[in-house]
Amino acid sequence: MSQTYELKAETRERVGKGSSRELRRNGLIPAVIYGDKQPPLSIALSTKDVTVKIHAGGFMTTVATIDVNGEKIRVLPKDYQLDPVRDFTMHVDFLRVSKDSKVSVQVPVHFENEEKSPGLKRGGALNIVRHEVELNVSADSIPEFLSVDLAGLNIGDTVHISDVKLPAGATPVISDRDFTIATITGRAQETDDAEAAEGEAEA
């Protein structure tokens, strides 16, 4: 799980496009905290603080604490909007969470030991089908990433979700099939067969 962090915020009395534009001019981002059977809470956060966290990585999979006028609220970022032209953060949605909360999150997939894959050594290619996997998981057990070990994999081999170690209690949102994460593809085997055939013909 990524290391948690805290952000300071203030409540927003006014909402709407005009209010949001005014906040952004003053270096603040409009945001909303919702969920946990409580009414939505409109807040404003420092643009600089939020942007740093987004670019640091793991923003959508890290539980944070927001200090709203002294009240500490545990949250998980659920969505954020970027300006399509200037690429600055325009709005953030946060979900209230507790230690017992189950959440649905997109977790990135990392691939390890490429140098130990016979298929890749022979000129094959790693065909990544899913760069992220959506999991149902406890809010306090969200992994930073899922690790896929490529050691020993040859051309034609496939990595399914059943081959990936998940955190205790975590389950894939897609539960009706053993879906593919990646495959090792390539023409190395065909090349080897052709060379062998040419050798036999010459003999």
Per-residue pLDDT tens digits for 8-34: 999 987 666 667 778 878 888 999 999
The predicted structure's pLDDT at residue 119: 94
Q: Residue 59 is encoded by which pair of tokens?
A: 């923003």
Q: Which fold has domain 103-194?
A: RNA Polymerase Alpha Subunit; Chain A, domain 2 (2.170.120)
Kind of pairing between the strands at 171-172 and 132-138: antiparallel
Where exactly are the structural domains of the chain? 6-97, 103-194
CA distance 190 to 201: 17
Torsion of CA 138, 142, 143, 146, to 10 degrees: 70
Q: Which helix (H) or strand (E) holds 202?
A: helix 188-202
Q: What are phi and psi of 182, to 5 degrees?
A: -160, 165
Q: Which helix (H) or strand (E) holds 146?
A: strand 146-149
CA distance 82 to 61: 18
Right CATH number for 6-97 from 2.40.240.10, 3.20.20.140, 2.60.40.1250, 3.40.50.1100?
A: 2.40.240.10
Per-residue pLDDT tens digits for 166-191: 988 899 999 999 999 999 998 644 44
CB of 62 within 8 A of CB of 83?
no
H helices within 33-75, ranges in order?
47-56
- Mean pLDDT on 84-110: 88
Nearest to 118 by CA among 88, 155, 147: 155
Per-residue pLDDT tens digits for 109-133: 999 999 999 999 999 999 999 999 9
Please compute Rg for the chain using Cα positions: 23
